[in-house]
Amino acid sequence: MKNTVIQGLVILLSFFLIWFGFSQLDYMKFFKIKERTLNVENKLGDLIWDQISRTEDVVLNDSITKTLDSLLLPICNANGIERDSLKVHIVKKDEINAFALPNKHLVVYTGLIIDCKKQEALQGVLGHEIAHIENNHVMKKLSKELGFSVLMTAASGGKGGQMIREVFKTLSSSAYDRTLEKEADMTSVDYMIKANIDPKPMADFMYKMALDNQMPKGLAWISTHPDSEERAKYILEYIKGKKLTIKPTLIEKDWNHFQEQVKDL
């Protein structure tokens, strides 16, 4: 009887040791895959930005970059987002556009800054792109549309930069799917509410852009984010009845000066 009990305990212990070993192996595999994915994401983002910085007119004016940063800070501070983790770049370009890249790069075109009538509209767009970054939408989109093997090849510098250009084109000129877009919209609205920023100008911005059925090419942010009128409506519906505490980030004079500086570039 005693031997039977001991044998049973040995078998039970062996089972748990084997289970533990396999579970650890799975975790190691998981973390290796996760690490490899993160490495690909980091390399992709840096390679794409390197290509943009060599071919586009990057704005380095301290006054302009610091003012944009002051518009971002309330969103980051109120929502537990580490500001220094975001790599924010301003590019001198007439297109009304902003887009997220892998490795937390966020590119803002001067055309967007100039076109936004209110600072809150710009903050809403920036919040939308930050939501894409924070919710890992960027890599989800690329993996779905291009495939992870293509992204690995691009990150390794394959085909002389041609694949990097293809990745960049996918991010800057084609839409996320409806689910990810709505998630980014609503996340941005929540960001703004927590930061005491009025979300209504974001909806107004979308609605204004959607009024022109034949959108000019310059309205890149709207053309790559379809159904703008519908999105404006569900944002307004979401905030209806909410008690909002609103405090502009910049005084009107400073916002106007910021836009004038950008126009004069």
Residue 216 maps to a domain: yes
Name the most confidently modeled range: 8-12, 150-154, 197-201, 218-222.
Answer: 197-201
Residue 31 maps to a domain: no
pTM comes to 0.81
Residue 11 maps to a domain: no
Residue 4 maps to a domain: no
Mean pLDDT, range 140-153, rounded to an integer: 81
Q: CA–CA distance from 74 to each of 2, 13, 71, 162 (Å)?
A: 69, 55, 7, 38
Residue 3 maps to a domain: no
Q: What is the pLDDT of residue 146?
A: 79
Please tell me the distance from the alpha carbon of residue 24 to that of residue 43, in angstroms, as a whole number: 28
Residue 256 maps to a domain: yes
Residue 90 maps to a domain: yes
Work out how many domains the chain is built from and give that number. Answer: 1
Q: CA–CA distance from 209 to each of 115, 119, 171 (Å)?
A: 10, 16, 20
Mean pLDDT, range 132-148, rounded to an integer: 87
pLDDT in tens, 254-264: 999 999 999 99
Amino acid in position 96: I
pLDDT in tens, 17-62: 454 554 554 433 443 445 556 688 888 889 889 989 999 999 999 9
Residue 8 maps to a domain: no
Range of the domain at 150: 42-263
